[in-house]
């Protein structure tokens, strides 16, 4: 049962948007998906409450502040939305669960620095826990990207320094906002409405379904 952690301690980078759309994509591919919400704001949980019942089902999973957590049985994939400020024991507990960690980041100086620091923390955990578990696959994804901006250019220059797979950029569009307000994802509407966005998701979907040896 793959556990996919969506994490970045920087707030406002699009973790809930990414988490809900990852869950939706997996559900439409026929997987039995559970969406866990480790964030006190419970954005993903509220989104689930809006999801129309006729769409592919996504189960909810509430952590209730527990540090020692295990995914419930009966599902094939788990997606975990995490809070801003994630670190310490909470990060370590979630890291132990994760098969994949997807790090969303926006093209800004503050996001770049926060992501750099977070990756260093993950590398520390990798060394500390290497004898206890197989290391998770880790990848980066740019969020709310605007073509032709200086901030996007700076992010493109920075990404190679992290030495992690980079899955591309998701553009800055109201599609995500409008769909989230109705409990929907890109895969819940006619492809012609979100064709450009679906194209940007192809590297993400390939990475989600692949497991490094």
pLDDT in tens, 4-16: 999 998 888 899 9
* CATH number of the domain that residue 118 is part of: 3.40.50.300
| Residue range(s) defining the domain that contains residue 105 | 3-209
> What letter would DSSP give residue 186?
G
State the pLDDT at residue 155: 75
Mean pLDDT of the chain: 88
Q: Which has the closest alpha carbon to 79: 138, 16, 28, 157?
A: 16
- Does the pTM exceed 0.95? no
For the stretch 143-179, pLDDT in tens is: 887 776 766 777 777 888 888 999 998 999 999 999 9
State the pLDDT at residue 21: 97
State the pLDDT at residue 66: 58
Copy the structure tokens of residue 197.
């966005």
CA distance 179 to 192: 15
CA distance 57 to 31: 9
Tell me which residues of the chain have a pLDDT lower than 50. Answer: 213
Domain count of the chain? 1
């Amino acid at each position: 049962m793959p556990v996919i952690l969506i994490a970045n301690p920087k707030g406002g980078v699009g973790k809930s948007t990414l988490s809900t759309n990852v869950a939706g994509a997996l559900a439409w591919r026929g997987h039995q998906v559970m969406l866990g919400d480790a964030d006190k704001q419970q954005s993903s949980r509220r989104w689930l409450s809006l999801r129309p019942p006729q769409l592919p089902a996504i189960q909810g999973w509430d952590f209730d502040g527990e540090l020692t957590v295990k995914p419930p049985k009966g599902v094939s994939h788990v997606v975990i939305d995490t809070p801003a400020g994630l670190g310490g024991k909470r990060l370590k507990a979630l890291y132990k669960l994760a098969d994949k960690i997807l790090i969303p980041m926006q093209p800004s100086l503050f996001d770049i620095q926060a992501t750099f620091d977070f990756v260093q923390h993950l590398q520390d955990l990798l060394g500390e826990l290497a004898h206890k578990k197989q290391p998770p696959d880790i990848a980066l994804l740019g969020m709310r990207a605007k073509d032709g901006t200086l901030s996007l250019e700076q992010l493109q220059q920075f990404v190679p320094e992290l030495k992690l797979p980079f899955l591309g950029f998701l553009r800055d569009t109201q599609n995500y906002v409008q769909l989230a307000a109705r409990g929907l994802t890109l895969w819940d509407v006619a492809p012609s409405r979100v064709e450009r966005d679906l194209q940007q998701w192809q590297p993400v979907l390939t990475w989600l379904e692949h497991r490094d040896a």
